[in-house]
Amino acid sequence: MGFFLLLFSNNSLLIGIVGLLLVVWALRSLGRTKKNKNKLLPPPEVRGAWPVIGHLRLLTSGKQPLARTLGRMADEYGAIFSIRVGMQRSVVISSWETAMESFSANDKLLADRPHSCAGKYIGYEYAVLPFALHGPFWRSMRKLVVVEMLSNNTLEKLKSVWTSELDANLKGLFSPTGKALDMSEWFGHLTMNIVVKLLGGRTNDPDKEAAAIDADVEETRRMAKVFNEIMRLTGELAPGDSFYPSGLVRWLDFGGTVASMKRAAKELDCIFRKWIDEHVERRSNAAAAGGGEDDRDFIDVLLSVIDGKFESVGHSYTRETVIKAALHSVLVDGADTLGLNLEWVLSVLLNNPFALKKVQEEMDTIIAGNERWVQDSDIEQMVYFQAAVKEAMRLYPAAPLLFPHRAMEDCTIGGYVVAKGTILYPNVWKIHRDPRVWPEPEKFSPERFMGRDERETDPSRHFGYIPFGIGRRSCPGISYALKVTHLAIARLIQGFIITTPGNMPVDMSEGQAITLLRATPLEVHITPRLPSSFYE
């Protein structure tokens, strides 16, 4: 909101710009009135909109997460309602029925993304999958990420890459007498270390010299810092996204958001370019020596599969840009939201000690007496544990508002017309608390996920449970996220007795961001639960 302060400190600038925006707003409102004449009504609009800025003051004035604010609006206006984010008309859906209608009958019509400063300046001109505009390139990029990078087959081939990182981080927690730990920080390091290693920023060479290892660690820290800045900027309101003419507003760049995006994107690009160059050189040297190399990580996979065919899908992106965009796409899902999932799952279990004990007992029974670390194959048999993870993600979805969709044509949802160009926001937080689908929705009850048809609890098929989104634009990394979440939480619970300071309940307050951050760090005390040989 810094650009508002700049405006109000300069009266001449304020009068000129507000006057221009009022003219544009009036012309757009007149156009909408004519266009929608004699058609179905649009969804009810929240009261209190101001000219030009719309409902921004209502959306940014509270201390609660935006999803909760929109949830209260749904209580008053219904499961589908309209808001104006600046001059951009938007619609919020808040029930499984509106989600089903949006992402089944209207899935294709709502498969586009809005133009945004983040997509343009951070997302390699809309090449990064979450920002990519609907069309041939998006379809090719999604296929590349889903089939070549995040498929079960690829994840199995590269399993040792991420499991070795998990093991190393877990063993690093060992202290004979126990120790205090900030789990929020630890989960952040863990997920960033795993995804950087999978992408190809750190090698698995056991003979690597200490100086090179230190350089890897420092580069991972640099990556984490720039990525956190990128996530912050992605969730920040950029004036060019909400006011018209957008090109002029972006050029003026009130508050410097666009400049910050460009700086962060440039730094991330430098890291990606260095990694790609190192891989190209290594593969070239191996070929010159008369041999080849197996794919060690995602960059190797991408260099193996991307060729001229991908570049001929009617876009101007270079091979290197496509690779960088694919890496960025995985980074978004593999670091930020995954780390938050881990935080919330553990937080919920700590606040429900009976469930935590039941998970440990289930695990101990299946692995027959703590003789080894829990494996993927064990988790398939841990029915209660899987249900507990699902229930935690229902209560605290890492993405409480899904990435915005854009209507490519007029469509009908809930008996209302959603006009072409409207931005649609699915409120996952509210959908997950629908008492018609989830009795006593605020209660933690893993049992609600047990004994039910898989279609009712599958996050890719059930419209009342969408922690990873649903439809054409659903998260491509569901399988990866669940694999890491299950194994990381299971081994953490197996390997350590985890308590809170003073055995007090965990503070479950939520922060304000594009994703569901904890308002306070998750601080715990951990004590080894297994023989010391497990941590060697």
475 is in an annotated binding site: yes
Pairing of strands 88-93, 423-426: parallel
Contacts 24+ apart (CB under 8 A), 151-160: 151/479, 152/479, 154/301, 155/479, 155/480, 155/483, 157/295, 158/198, 158/295, 158/296, 158/297, 158/298, 160/204
**Using CA atoms, how far apart are residues 374 and 491, in angstroms rounded to an integer?**
6
For 430-483, what is the HEC assignment? HHCCCCCCCCCCCCCCHHHHCCCCHHHHCCCCCCCCCCCCCHHHCCCCHHHHHH
Q: Report residue 434: phi and psi, to 5°.
A: -75, 110
pLDDT at 245: 53
- Determine contact, residues 483/155, Cβ cutoff 8 Å: yes
**Weakly modelled stretches of the chain, pLDDT under 70:** 1-38, 203-214, 243-252, 291-294, 308-309, 311-314, 369-370, 452-461
**Using CA atoms, how far apart are residues 272 and 265, in angstroms rounded to an integer?**
11
| CA-based nearest residue to 103, from 497, 315, 418 | 418
- Determine contact, residues 388/353, Cβ cutoff 8 Å: no
Q: Is the peptide bond before 446 cis (omega within 30 degrees of 0)?
A: no
Q: Which residues fall within 8 angstroms of residue 480, CB to CB, at 6 or more apart?
A: 150, 155, 333, 334
Q: What domains are defined for the chain?
A: 2-535 (1.10.630.10)
pLDDT at 163: 93
The share of the chain scoring above pLDDT 70, in percent, equals 84
**Using CA atoms, how far apart are residues 485 and 385, in angstroms rounded to an integer?**
11
* Tally of CA atoms within 13 A in the half-sphere of 453 that contains its CB: 4
The predicted-structure confidence for 290-321, as pLDDT tens digits, reads as follows: 766 667 899 999 999 987 667 666 678 999 99
Mean pLDDT of the chain: 86
pLDDT at 29: 54
| CA-based nearest residue to 189, from 214, 164, 165, 159 | 165
**Using CA atoms, how far apart are residues 148 and 477, in angstroms rounded to an integer?**
12
- Determine contact, residues 204/161, Cβ cutoff 8 Å: yes
pLDDT at 246: 62
Q: Give how far Cα 17 sits from Cα of 5, 86, 243, 292, 420, Å.
A: 14, 14, 11, 60, 27
**Using CA atoms, how far apart are residues 58 and 92, in angstroms rounded to an integer?**
15
pLDDT at 4: 37
pLDDT at 336: 82
